[in-house]
Amino acid sequence: MPTWSVRPERFDTPDATALRRDYYHDVASSYWKRPATEAEIDEGLRGDGVEQLAAPTGEFVVGRYGGAPGACGGVLLLDPERAELTRVYVRPGFRGTGGGGVLLAALEEAARRLGAQRMVLNTRLDLTEARRLYARHGFAEIPAYCEGPYMDVWYGKELYDSARVRA
């Protein structure tokens, strides 16, 4: 039976780039209620700040299921105590295999290595599968810590004391 492995990887490797494109296609298509075009994906990824997902400000990871690239995600330090979870994605064909939980655990560990005490994230209300995943793994709604056009709800999780959630 295949298993998941998640490891740090540069955001610009062929596998990471393909996953980032799939991520953007998935979330943009859901938002626009139509398939995103290649040009729209290119535009969305241009200048998206992914280069910050490398030491010392962050980390990008790729998850493989049975060796096949199936998931990705990033952690970005917002300040010395908080890390933001970003670009969390599991390809549709790999969903339901436990990859989301393995991916979140790896990203939380990456945040700890960067020195973060808590993890925060923002997402959209329509991304219900993602919101359920976060809640299952101990994230709770918190007050908004940032603003943006694609942000409807904010979550947080203490990395060392999950009984307390702060913004």
Residue 22 has pLDDT above 90, yes or no: yes
Q: What is the pLDDT of residues 100-144, one digit of tens each?
A: 999 999 999 999 999 999 999 999 999 999 999 999 999 999 999
For residue 30, what are its two tokens?
Answer: 């859901």
* Domain assignments of the chain as residue spans, ordered by start: 4-118
Give the strand order in the sheet containing 82-90.
Answer: 4-8, 58-65, 68-77, 82-90, 118-123, 153-158, 140-142
Which residues, at least 6 apart from 41, have a Cβ–Cβ distance to it below 8 Å? 21, 24, 25, 28
What distance in Å separates the CA atoms of residue 107 and residue 124, rounded to the nearest whole number? 20
DSSP β-bridge partners for residue 59 = 75
Average pLDDT, the chain: 93
Q: What is the pLDDT of residues 140-163, one digit of tens each?
A: 999 999 998 889 999 999 998 544
Place of tokens 């299952």: 136
DSSP β-bridge partners for residue 6 = 63
Q: What is the pLDDT of residues 23-68, one digit of tens each?
A: 999 999 999 999 999 999 999 999 899 999 999 999 999 999 999 9
Look up the CATH architecture of domain 4-118: 3-Layer(aba) Sandwich (3.40)
